[in-house]
Amino acid sequence: MTAATALSVRGDGGGGRAVPRHVAIIMDGNGRWAKARFLPRIAGHRQGAEAVRRTVRAAGEIGIEVLTLYAFSSENWRRPVEEVSDLMGLLRHFLKAEVAELVANGARLRVIGDLARLDADVRALIDEAIARTASGTRLTLVLALNYGAQDELVRAARALAEEARAGTLVPEAIDVEEIEARLDTAGLPPVDLLIRTSGEVRLSNFLLWQAAYAELMFVDTLWPDFDAAALAEAVTRFGARERRFGGL
């Protein structure tokens, strides 16, 4: 079942309910998925990569403009060396093998986070994938790599401070727009819907600024089991919520 079909089955296709412009997902539960099947953790990550493929395709079908996936946090370096190596291997595979499908689906790739710590060959693959998908207009896929929201805000604050010290920016001119222009997500719409899988209920240092008015949704589904129907269900639930943005 495609995402569009799933929405139609629920009576939401064309029903006037809002589709979120920007959906962000904390992809959690790969390890528990593998453990429940007596498999090594890398098996869960591999199945998680399949869920990424399904979700990207479904997002485009639903009409989501931006899909941001928390692929590797700045804290993930604390994991065992073998697991980090496996994750980087999967990232390399994705950047090599999935670009053609992104192009076919009209998706363009963007990457946020501090990329300096990534290996040079990974950075080169990222640059190549971004260039090859630059003409995509159907969906913007944002991968958060070595990303942490607090680090992002620190980097933005440092950039503002440097400009102030250089005399190109006066402190009185610093406002919401000036800060947003220096975030990794500059130019993207704010997050409308933030989903975390696996039943955990926390944001884990993900898009803290951008999700200021996001609808939060915590689902029990483990990430490797997430699919088009699960995304459609989340969008349906989003459409049923009343968003006030601090007003009445």
- CATH placement of domain 18-239: 3.40.1180.10
Contact 111, 126 (CB under 8 A): yes
pLDDT for residue 245: 77
Contacts of 167 (CB under 8 A, 6+ apart): none
Compute the CA torsion angle 136, 51, 152, 106 (nearest 10 deg). 0
Catalytic residue among 76, 114, 205, 225: 76
pTM over 0.85? The answer is yes
| Pairing label, strands 193-196, 107-112 | unpaired
184 is catalytic: no
Sheet holding 193-196, edge to edge: 107-112, 139-147, 66-73, 22-26, 193-196, 215-218
pLDDT in tens, 104-126: 999 999 999 999 999 999 999 99
Which residues partner with 66 through β-bridges? 22, 140
Give the number of C-alpha atoms closer than 13 A to the C-alpha of residue 221, restricted to the C-beta side.
20
Residue 15 has pLDDT above 60, yes or no: no
DSSP state, residue 79: S
Phi and psi for 157 in degrees, rounded to 5? -65, -40
The SS3 call for residue 111 is strand
pLDDT tens by residue, 165-220: 999 999 999 999 999 999 999 999 999 999 999 999 999 999 999 999 999 999 99
More confident residue, 214 or 3: 214
Chain-wide mean pLDDT for the chain? 92
Beta strands 193-196 and 139-147: pairing type? unpaired
Instruction: Tell me which of 12, 28, 86, 227 is the catalytic residue.
Output: 28
Q: Which helix (H) or strand (E) holds 230?
A: helix 228-239
Known binding site for Mg(2+): residues? 28, 215
pLDDT at 67 exceeding the cut of 90: yes
Annotated binding site: 28-33, 41, 45, 73-75, 77, 79, 196, 202-204, 215
Question: Which residues, including other chains, have CB under 8 Å from residue 210's CB and lie 6 or more apart?
Answer: 22, 24, 183, 185, 188, 190, 191
- Which pLDDT does position 12 carry in this prediction? 41
pLDDT beyond 70 at 91: yes
Query: For residue 6, what pLDDT is reported?
Result: 46
Q: Which two tokens stand for residue 142?
A: 């944002």
